[in-house]
Structure formats: C-alpha cells, structure tokens
Amino acid sequence: MGLGLFHTVLSFCFIPFYYHSYHFEFSQSAWPLKTRLSFYVLFIWLMIIKDMYGSLFQVSHQYIYSILVLMI
C-alpha cells in the first residue's frame, strides 16, 4: 500500500509536465483550468483505489493515462 501510494503521488507530479510538454500548442482550446484540476483530483482517487483494490478492478496505468490525455 505504501509503495503504491508513493507511485500514485509520483505519477501525479508528472502530469502537469506531461501536459505542458505535449499539449502546450493546444492550450488555447484546452479545457478550463478548473475542469482540468477537477480531473487531476479524480485521477488521484482512481490511482489510490487501483493501488488499494487492484485485484478487484484490474485497471492498468496505461488505460488511465490514455483517458487523461484524451480529456485534456
């Protein structure tokens, strides 16, 4: 649990850098900041739930990252 939570926080820290490096040119058409921040919070909770109950949900990190990229 501890290592999974650390990985979740570490993954969250890289989200803004990923967004700015790959989607900066689309910033004018991007979703409002409040919407993106709300999605970041949802993303954190999804990762925490995955780390706590991974055997029940079997959600891969790549799938969640794909959703994140599509949303922003």
Residue type, 60: S
Question: Where along the chain do its domains lie?
Answer: 2-71
| 53-63 as b/e: b if 16+ CB within 10 A | eeeeeeeeeee
Model confidence at 1, pLDDT cuts 50, 70, 90, reads very low
Residues 41-60 have pLDDT tens digits of 777 777 777 666 665 555 56
Residues 16-40 have pLDDT tens digits of 555 554 454 445 555 566 676 777 7
Please say if the pLDDT value at position 3 is more than 60: no
Model confidence at 4, pLDDT cuts 50, 70, 90, reads low
- Residue 19 CA to residue 15 CA, distance in Å, equals 6
